Amino acid sequence: METFNLEPLLSDTSISVALYENVTNASKLKTLIKDGEIHAALIKAEMVLDVFQVLVASSKAFYAKTLNKLKTKLIYTEILFNLSPSNKISECFKLFGVEDEATCVLVVARKEDFSEVDKHVEGDICPLSKLDNLCDKQYLKKLYKVTDEELKVCSLTDCVVSQMAAKEIR
């Protein structure tokens, strides 16, 4: 689990990001979030290449909330929306949201809320560096339409992040 400050946009907001494996209650966690009992985003670990991807999506979501410009209902669903190249909300949830039977889950929550969320997760916390092994890079490359020409000049993470950040500009 690592904590990050969302400066310079929101220097008084910090988030905690944690990777869990051998999770047995993904479905229950989703319900708890939907019901507002816990406040966190559950992200499909196989879709995350680097924690920076999640930080960019989270910064955008928390910032949009301060301006009252969320496109989805919650900050936590907004994070999923921001991670996706698509503008269709349902597609974003399908691609980046966690399935009921999922065993690898990436959790994002406000620093203050994290311990509460952690209590509910039935799984083993592991280092974020494991994301590199878990990630389906080929799929991500295809989803974001990253070409080999692009990869000569920057990393896959950077290509993905750049597209995520520029999503509204078409």
Kindly state whether residue 12 participates in binding another protein, applying the rule CB under 8 A: no
Report the nearest approach of another protein to the CB of residue 33 (Å).
Answer: 23
- Locate the DSSP E strands across the chain: 2-6, 10-21, 41-44, 105-110, 124-126
- The residue (of 54 and 102) whose beta carbon lies closer to another protein is 54
Under rule CB under 8 A, residue 166 binds another protein: yes
Rounded distance, CA 154 to CA 134, Å?
Answer: 21
SS3 145: coil
- Using rule CB under 8 A, residue 106 touches another protein: no
Residue 96 engages another protein in binding (rule: CB under 8 A): no
User: Is residue 130 a contact partner of residue 34, using CB atoms and an 8 Å limit?
Assistant: no
**Using rule CB under 8 A, residue 165 touches another protein:** yes
36: left (phi over 0), alpha (psi -120 to 50) or beta: left
Residues forming contacts to another protein in the complex (CB under 8 A) are 4, 6-9, 52, 55-56, 59-60, 63, 67, 69, 147, 149-150, 152-154, 158-159, 161-163, 165-166, 168-169
